[in-house]
Amino acid sequence: MKTLAHIAAELAGYDPQALSADTVNTFLHQLVRPVTDVEQVRVFKALDRVLANDIVSPISVPPHDNSAMDGFAFAGSQLSDTQPITLQVVGTVLAGKAWTGQVASGQCVRIMTGAIMPQGLDTVVPQELASVANNQASIAAGILKPGDNRRFMGEDLMQGQPALQKGERLTPAALGLVASLGINTVPVLRHLRVAYFSTGDEILSLGEAPREGAVYDSNRYTVFGLLTRLGCEVIDMGVVRDAPEALEAAFVEAACRADAIITSGGVSVGEADYTKAMMKKLGDVAFWKIAMRPGRPMAVGQIFRDKLASSPHRVMTFSSEKNSILEGSAILFGLPGNPVAVMVTFLAFVRPALLRMMGANASAPPLLKAHSSEPMRKKPGRTEYQRGIVSTAPDGSLQVKTTGNQGSGVLSSMAQANGLIVLHHTQGNVAVGDALDVMMFDGMI
């Protein structure tokens, strides 16, 4: 794994005191590596897991030519563009049962949706388009073409073709596709383990009595939700006080148990606490000032587990195999303490990095275009992530407005918003009607 210095040296214009959002993501993309451990899980347990290998179709789907609807199957060569045709109905073909009889010219069979097309038949007239009387089906001229309403064998997938590729996350649709191939278990990469804790003497946990100058910890719960929604195995380490011994113990335990560590608080410029000093002591850590709003301060780095052997806080064994000590290093993300800044930096930077660590192919959510329904002030030279509400305009296009107050402590605005308006680094003021990029929340928070 590269050191932070090596990565920084390869990035043109790298300046830890004024990083662009794009540079941050490029840096993190080079820093993190996917997990490699593979396990087999049943399809019912595979939702949102990341495929470790391609899934190759063992069968053709569908396995036979079949009818796309209820109707009457016949040889399409008998159709006429100018004259109706009348066919004798000689049987019924049900789904799941092959037709064993013969169908001659001038004849047809009643057929159900999904039923195998009898040999020599290639066209189906929907039952509502056929006039049936005296066991005969009449078809008007010009309403069908040969081959209509027939599904071909392998139309979805042919045997031997890749059905899903390594690195894909298994969505509900993907689970259905796997099941349609008769596959019971799938190879997936193990869950990414992420340890998280909040820092600060002013932080109250739920259940503690209020006290002057203290605030209840919201970050712990929003990050827990973000990590759970992402599909990570979350190791909740609670609140860690501003004491060197407590912080060292927390970092050491987290590094031994998790692939990644996330903290909130203690990385702002000039803060008189021990978090930054402990990060430096235990790992290779960079402290950044990102040209963004909200969420300017952020720390990133890695803690090498072999260097923790002499620490009195090193955790040697755990009660279950899944919590056993890992090899190599743990990636560290030190997020700011303001609630909105925590969520924004997570969505903009940490989430794409964690997806890469999970082995997923797609790491960044697509940005949608929406037209601004209000003017917005913006200075070029930083990326701004404003909380937005996207809706459908009367003409059917997407429109977006802000939630109002964009202060980094206004957590209620994140609950009101359904996306982040991304005002890019070089972008200036926004006028009504301007097209804007929006990062939608659906599926992320």
> How far is Cα of residue 325 from the mean position of the Cα atoms in its chain?
28
pLDDT (0 to 100) of residue 313:
59
- Confidence band, pLDDT 50/70/90 cuts, at residue 319: very low
Q: Give the pLDDT band of residue 98 (cuts 50, 70, 90).
A: confident
* Chain centroid, CA 167 distance in Å: 11
What mean pLDDT comes out for the span 218-230? 95
Residue 271 in this model has a pLDDT that exceeds 60? no
CA separation, residue 416 to residues 25, 222, 365, 402, 420 (Å) = 27, 14, 20, 10, 11
Domain 4-37+191-357 has CATH 3.40.980.10: yes
Q: How far apart are CA 443 and CA 421, in angstroms?
A: 17
- Percent share of the chain, pLDDT over 70: 94
Helix or strand holding residue 435 (H, E): strand 435-440
Element (DSSP H or E) covering residue 257:
helix 244-257
Average pLDDT over residues 347-372: 93
Q: What is the pLDDT of residue 327?
A: 65
pLDDT of res. 314: 57
- At residue 77, does pLDDT exceed 80? yes
Q: What are the distances in angstroms from CA 241 to CA 197, 264, 267, 349? A: 10, 12, 14, 26
CA distance 301 to 394: 48
- CATH number of this structure's domain 66-151: 2.170.190.11
Residues 6 or more apart whose CB falls under 8 angstroms from that of 271 comprise none
**Closest CA relative to residue 170, chosen from 253, 88, 55:** 55
Q: Where are the domains of the chain?
A: 4-37+191-357, 52-61+155-188, 66-151, 368-440
Query: What's residue 366's pLDDT?
Result: 86
DSSP designation for 376: B
Task: Return the closest-CA partner of residue 279 out of 296, 290, 256, 263.
Answer: 263
Q: Is residue 9 scored above 50 in pLDDT?
A: yes
Instruction: From residue 12, give the alpha-carbon distance in Å to each of 7, 21, 284.
Output: 10, 14, 21
What is the rounded (10 degree) CA torsion for 172, 174, 175, 179?
140
For residues 274 and 156, the model is more confident at 156
Window from 273-277, 316-320, 372-376 with minimum mean pLDDT: 316-320
Mean pLDDT of 20-47: 96
Residue listed under structure tokens 């009504």 = 432
Which CATH number is 368-440 given?
2.40.340.10
Q: What is the mean pLDDT of the chain?
A: 91
Give the range with max mean pLDDT: 112-126, 203-217, 234-248, 267-281.
112-126
In the predicted model, is pLDDT for residue 82 greater than 50?
Answer: yes
Which pLDDT does position 182 carry in this prediction? Answer: 95
The stretch 280-284 carries a mean pLDDT of 90
* 197: three-class secondary structure by DSSP: strand
- Distances in Å between the alpha carbon of 200 and those of 126, 206, 248, 277, 409? 70, 15, 14, 14, 16
Question: Taking 80 as the threshold, does the pLDDT of residue 427 lie above it?
Answer: yes
pTM over 0.85: yes
Residue 26 above 60 pLDDT?
Answer: yes
